[in-house]
Amino acid sequence: MKNKRILLIMSGGIAAYKCLELIRRLRDKGAHVRVVMTRAAQQFVTPLSVSALTNEKVFTDLFDLNDEREIGHIRLSREADAILVAPATADLIAKMANGHADDLASSVLLASDKPPLVAPAMNPRMWMNKATQRNVSQLEADGVRFIGPEVGEMAEANEAGPGRLVEVPALIEALSKMPGIAAGSEPSDRSHSMLKHGGLEGLHVLVTSGPTHEPIDPVRYIANRSSGKQGHAIAAAAQAAGARVTLVSGPVNIPDPEGVEVVRVETAEAMLAAVEKALPADVGIFCAAVADWHVASQGAQKIKKQKGAAPPKLELVPNPDILKTIATRKKGRPDLVVGFAAETEKVLEHARAKLASKGCDWIVANDVSAGTGVMGGDRNKVHVVRDGGQVSWPDMSKVQVADALVGAIVAELAKKKIAPAEKERGKKARGK
């Protein structure tokens, strides 16, 4: 980053204090840092402190006569090699998504000729609000890059979830990959390598993903269109949150998440066996689209078509119900069991029925009917159903859904104050 020009746009929030350390670290790496502060940011960090660290004037006013004589808001954006917005409040994100320019920060961003890196920080409910997620999705579609937010406890009492500003080293790493800073680097998406948000340290999370293949003969099988993208994204998000993750995956054509133990299976029966072998776990997330039936008598050889003969009749028998088997265990049941319901009609009605019949704690339901593009696609729209009601999330990428679900799990475990199973097992092993 030596001699690179960084424009840091700070909006309001308690997380603004992290920017002082960020500026110092960037200066240590030889970067030149200019800062634009919103009026709200100045309530948490003084321009004098920022100026002392940057050795530059801090820009605060759109209508500064001296600066605007040279069209300062245009010059600020054009002279920077990269723009970082941190912390980015819900208000500033909304302004960016809707093209507002009523202060210096929003004017600079609107006048910029390069996409910024945005690091959100806000209350979890504000982050998960449909309006905020809609604005984030719009900005991502426009080419804006995001890092975070992390999951954890908030400044407000008894508040936890996604909303914390990512830590300074992660901000610098993400910034170093921005075009204009690292020549030839690929544009970053909101990848889990940037989302080291914590909250599940010391816990074991078990995830199932993908379809199952139920053989008819050595060549043919019964399957479904599940790609495994959502389950794999959840496993990656849980790993990024600090958990030890076991991913039991059916046949998929996507890469394994980094840092995750992957157990590959073909059939529903093999998946159940692998799940039971992986127990105990603190959290079980059953995202796999498990086939409901398998063929009673599998052909030892390829079943041949016989001229003039009727097609063979396939007798189907039920597969084991993995979700119900684990959720109703008397011993070794995970503290939190999350099931998935892929429906094509009456999504919430079927999800509530499944919640009641399976014995799990949450059901994550989605509409996979023709035309939604969910099966095999990169986006998802889900409803989290639990006793007492449900929360419907906006259309998001499957990575965003995974991050949001892990954030909700972190918040739930913090609320319940569940002791990590692995820590408890470690104490017993040491005789404590």
Instruction: Indicate whether 46 pLDDT > 80.
Output: yes
Identify whether residues 212 and 188 lie together within a single domain. no
SS (H, E, C) 291-304: CCEEECCCCCCCCC
Whether 179 and 326 share a structural domain: no
Q: Within this chain, do residues 157 and 261 fall inside the same structural domain, yes or no?
A: no
**Residue 199: inside a domain, yes or no?**
no
Q: Residue 430: pLDDT band by 50, 70, 90 thresholds?
A: very low
Q: How confident is the model at residue 97 (pLDDT cuts 50, 70, 90)?
A: very high
Mean pLDDT of the 225-248 span: 94
Residue spans of alpha helices (H) in 87-152: 90-98, 104-111, 124-128, 130-141
Please tell me the predicted confidence (pLDDT) of residue 191: 40
Sign of CA dihedral 115, 116, 117, 123: negative
**pLDDT confidence bin for 14, thresholds 50/70/90:** confident
Q: Which residue has the higher pLDDT, 387 or 179?
A: 387
Higher pLDDT, 89 or 189: 89
Tokens of 203: 């816990």
162 closest CA partner among 173, 172, 174, 150:
150
35 and 176 housed in the same domain: yes
Same domain membership, residue 246 and residue 166: no
Tell whether 170 and 278 lie within a shared domain.
no
* 81 and 120 both lie in a single domain: yes
In this prediction, what percent of the chain has a pLDDT beyond 90? 50
Q: Could you give the residue ranges of the DSSP H alpha helices within 318-396? A: 322-327, 347-358
Residue 72: enclosing H or E segment and its boundaries? helix 72-79
Helix locations, 177-267, DSSP H: 229-240
Note whether 240 and 144 are same-domain residues: no
Which of 17-31, 65-79, 265-279, 398-412 shows the lowest per-residue confidence on average (mean pLDDT)? 65-79
Q: How far apart are the C-alpha atoms of 209 and 203, rounded to whole Å?
A: 19
- Whether residue 230 is found in the same domain as residue 280: yes
Does position 142 have pLDDT exceeding 70, yes or no? yes
Look at residue 312 in the predicted model and tell me its pLDDT: 86
Do 124 and 60 lie in one domain? The reply is yes
Residue 349 lies in a domain: yes
| Per-residue pLDDT tens digits for 361-377 | 999 999 888 778 788 78
Q: What is the pLDDT of residue 432?
A: 42
Mean pLDDT (the chain, rounded)? 85
Question: Is 380 one of the annotated active-site residues of the chain?
Answer: no
Residue 192 pLDDT > 60, yes or no? no
Residue 16 falls within a domain, yes or no? yes
Among 164, 193, 222, residue at a domain's last position: 193
Asked whether residue 306 is assigned to any structural domain, the reply reads no
Q: Which domain holds residue 116?
A: 5-193
pLDDT tens track for 310-366: 988 899 999 999 999 999 999 999 999 999 998 889 989 999 999 999 999 999 999
Which residues are 339's β-sheet partners?
286, 363
Cα separation, 94 vs 100, whole angstroms: 8
One domain, residues 129 and 249: no
List the CATH number of the domain containing 25.
Answer: 3.40.50.1950
* 31/140 same-domain check: yes
Q: Domain boundary at 165, 193, 221, which?
A: 193
Asked if residue 44 belongs to a domain, the reply is yes
User: For the ranges 86-100, 188-202, 256-270, 292-306, which has the lowest average pLDDT?
Assistant: 188-202
Within-domain flag for 303: no
Q: Is residue 198 included in any domain, yes or no?
A: no
Rounded to an integer, what distance in angstroms lies between the CA atom of residue 384 and that of residue 377?
Answer: 20
Q: What is the pLDDT of residues 391-419, one digit of tens each?
A: 888 788 888 889 889 988 988 887 776 55
Structural domains in the chain (count): 2
Q: Average pLDDT, stretch 38-62?
A: 90
Residue 20 domain-assigned? yes
Domain boundary among 174, 193, 212: 193
Look up the CATH number of the domain holding residue 386. 3.40.50.10300
Q: Indicate which residue of 66, 224, 319, 366 is catalytic.
A: 224
SS3 content of the chain, % helix, strand, coil (to 5): 35, 20, 40
